[in-house]
Chain A
Amino acid sequence: MTQAWSGLNSRALDALVLVTLTVAIWQGLYEYAGEAAITSPLATLGYASSLVKTSSFWTHAEATLAAFAYALAISIVLGVVFGLILGFRRFAGDVAEPILVALYTIPKVTLYPLILLIFGLGVSAKVAFGVIHGVIPIILFTLNAVKNINPVLIRTSRVMRLSPWQTVSTVLTPAVMPELITGMRVGFSLTMLGVLIGEMFASQRGLGFLIINGINMHNVPMTMAVILIVVLFAIAANGLLLAFDKRMHRT
């Protein structure tokens, strides 16, 4: 028991050190660059806490969250479905995988004008940005999860005379779950990034808009406060998903 505790303690200590270091660097930058460029950690925290009490902040936050939720749902459904198809149809998967990997590494921002022209400015464009960022890793992870199903599991299902449905539901699904969850975790972060970037130049609402708007209005404290909130949310969400991911991978 004490070993587990000291492990937890040292991790907590590490986190504390990292946070302190970050804040110190931040403060240093502030001293160097001055009020006009960035705000100090303390001031940002103050601004952020008052910001979250305003209703206008929440209007924007809800816009972002709504777009993000849609984009994530679409990414997951499309990603898993296509990943499964390409995973089970081996030939199609082998043909498609390099194409998908290539799409993954191109600057997706290059496609933004096309998205805007198709969807116009507004929520659907934001959702589309989110989807093009998030769907590809989910497809790739799902595809690989299926490809990596240990063949002995399928032979075992046949020896146990399981029906096709039983094989899928009691053997194949649990077998691919851990990889699927990892894919969704990566997709989560990337979808969020896509939605935020979309808001940064193609929307009048949302947290991404607030960030860019702050700069345009020379309101640096607001920009920094929103960035802080977004980054903290991202870290917290990812932390939860990572813990879940690890649990699924305990086997």
Chain B
Amino acid sequence: MTRNAAISLTRIAVIVGGIALLEVLCRRHIINPLTLIPPSEMATSLWHLFGSQKIWDDIAQTFSTVAFSFVLSVAAGFALGALIHALPRVRRAVDPLLASYYSIPFFVFYPLLIALFGLNTVPLIVIGFIFATAAMVISTLNGLDRVPRVMTKTSRILRLSPTRAIWSVTLPAAAPYLFTGLKLALAYSFIGVIAGEFILSGGGLGYSIAYAYNDFDNQTMYALMMFVLVIAVAMNGALHVWEQRMLKKRARA
């Protein structure tokens, strides 16, 4: 078997084995059932939840909030990134800010946003937006940087109009890196929204997890936690695989 196949199989074995181990430890009460329920129970509990309306309302709320945050941050991030790229002086000023951006614990602004906008989804969208936009800006700058000079020269030799040049040369060349930005923007929007809902909110999946925790309702809590985990992994995983394919096709020495 090839090395790659061996790696993938081992990885699957590790994950499945880990879950199986957890299952056994929980069933035998080696792990306190008040602390953690077996994965199989999480699954069945989740299945039952799907029958009720509540979880679908939560899903709708969380996903729509994430969607808002995602679309806004991608649009703003791309626009800002392109603008900054075109103005080197501004870029020099902003670069240190971007480099240190993620060292600022933006989460501490969340209570403030609630004071400003009230206890609704707006603070969540704003927090997701703040998290995600910078990643999109950085990825856009990176992507535009990496359009090889020789390609820009080629479009000038071919005497393409500026619009044609951007559409047919610049954007396709930058595409893989822009896609990375999309991937990060989605991940960060999701993290920001769920975390916000968890800490202080009136609805959504994060809120329901916190509610179930306060209610000592481990069944519901773990079911929802597992759901969020699986969705996050699936979403990010799919985008990651897609992104890697894109980068591989474009790999330059």
Contact = CB atoms under 8 A, between A and B. Distances in A.
Interface string A180-221: 000001101100110011001100000010011011000010
A113 B213 contact: yes
B63 to A, nearest CB: 14
A208 B115 contact: no
Contacts of B132: none
A132 B15 CA distance: 19
A238 interface: yes
A1 interface: no
Interface string B85-127: 0000000111011011011110111111011100000000000
B116 A38 contact: yes
Nearest to A213: B111
A107 B194 contact: yes
Contacts of B15: 99
B100 A113 contact: no
Contacts of B229: 106, 110
B10 A227 contact: no
Interface string B193-229: 0110011100000100110010000000100010011
A114 interface: yes
A237 to B, nearest CB: 8
B151 interface: no
B36 interface: yes
A105 B105 contact: no
Interface string A122-134: 0000000000000
Interface in B31-49: 34-36
A234 B237 CA distance: 31
A31 interface: no
B61 to A, nearest CB: 15
B155 interface: no
B34 A117 contact: yes
A29 B236 CA distance: 35
B42 to A, nearest CB: 11
Given A14-B93, A197-B107, A242-B100, A37 B115 contact: yes
Contacts of A220: 112, 115
Contacts of A185: 103
Contact of B92 (A14, A95, A108, A227): A14
Nearest to A29: B116
A108 B232 CA distance: 11
B109 A94 contact: no
A224 B14 CA distance: 46
Nearest to A103: B233
From A109, A117, A227, A238, residue with most partner B Cβ within 10 Å: A109
A105 B234 CA distance: 11
B109 A227 contact: yes
From A10, A99, A107, A235, residue with most partner B Cβ within 10 Å: A107
A193 B110 CA distance: 13
Contacts of B35: 114, 117-118
B198 A112 contact: yes
Given A38-B116, A106-B232, A196-B105, A114 B100 contact: no
A28 to B, nearest CB: 13
B109 A197 contact: no
A18 interface: yes
Contacts of A231: 104-105, 108
A102 interface: yes
Contact of B105 (A214, A230, A239): A230
Nearest to A114: B36
B76 interface: no
A235 B108 CA distance: 14
30 contacts: A15-B96, A17-B93, A18-B94, A18-B97, A37-B116, A38-B116, A95-B10, A99-B14, A102-B236, A105-B191, A106-B232, A106-B236, A107-B228, A109-B195, A110-B209, A110-B229, A112-B198, A113-B210, A117-B34, A185-B103, A186-B102, A200-B108, A211-B108, A212-B199, A214-B111, A215-B114, A220-B112, A223-B112, A223-B115, A226-B108
- Which 4 A-B pairs have CB atoms at the shortest separation, nearest pair first? A14-B93, A238-B103, A189-B103, A215-B111
